[in-house]
Homo-oligomer: A and B are copies of this chain.
């Protein structure tokens, strides 16, 4: 191995720019930090440009260095300080991969049904501003068996370090697409035969109304609005149904991630009851 690069080597300097969205969008690359996420990146079929690793981390993760070598990914030794400079975590793991951005065009993400017959279950984030929430929603969408996650409107970048961490690898598991025009994203969903449902505390459909079960168990795109204000008026108008999670106690509302989990899994339950095909 070459001597560890310091904070000032050109590769490290270039990689540091990926900590910011503008740098990521310009380079078309993002950073993946920590053993678990790096393992997912190396299993992913997209391009991994390089893997920065400290001496300690290389001793702790010989399997990852082997995988990188097998895939032809250059392993770049760095100092602890250089690795820490590539992370936004308090306790850096000394292991950072540089990967191509994950997102594909909306039309491509919507072509991703498990059986080639178009999508039947999609999650749309429409204005989620907290990266932890985008990551958590992507993880729930993955667990629920969604075909894609679409990031519409002012939703935060899913390549943000906190989003990648919160997804615990799920950003690598299903197609992601970004488009600032939220109504156009909802229209694209409708055009592929999905019924658009938006989670809304004042929605006209009760999630647990028996009459809603056939809706929930059919082909759906679940739309989740912002943490602070819910879905915007444009999105509420563009969706075919506004669905409320019933509140039985004195809580005013649920937080975004728990509401998303309840809505997506209501569809999972309805699909199971309807005998809809789900991934094994």
Query: Residues of A with Cβ closer than 8 Å to B?
Result: 136, 139-146, 166, 168-170, 173-174, 207-208, 210, 245-255, 257-262, 265-266, 268-269, 272-273, 278-279
**Cross-interface CB contact of A146 among B143, B249, B279, cutoff 8 Å:** B249
Q: Is the CB of B210 within 8 A of A248?
A: no
Q: Which residue of B lies closest to A252 (CB)?
A: B168
A248 and B169 in contact, given A208-B273, A257-B257, A266-B265 (Cβ under 8 angstroms): no
> Oligomeric state, in number of copies?
2
Question: In the complex, what residues of B have CB within 8 A of residue A139's CB?
Answer: 251, 254-255, 258
Question: In the complex, what residues of B have CB within 8 A of residue A255's CB?
Answer: 136, 139, 166, 168, 257
A173 and B262 in contact, given A210-B273, A269-B269 (Cβ under 8 angstroms): no
Q: Which residue of B lies closest to A143 (CB)?
A: B251
Question: In the complex, what residues of B have CB within 8 A of residue A261's CB?
Answer: 254, 257-259, 261-262
A175, chain B: closest CB distance, angstroms = 12
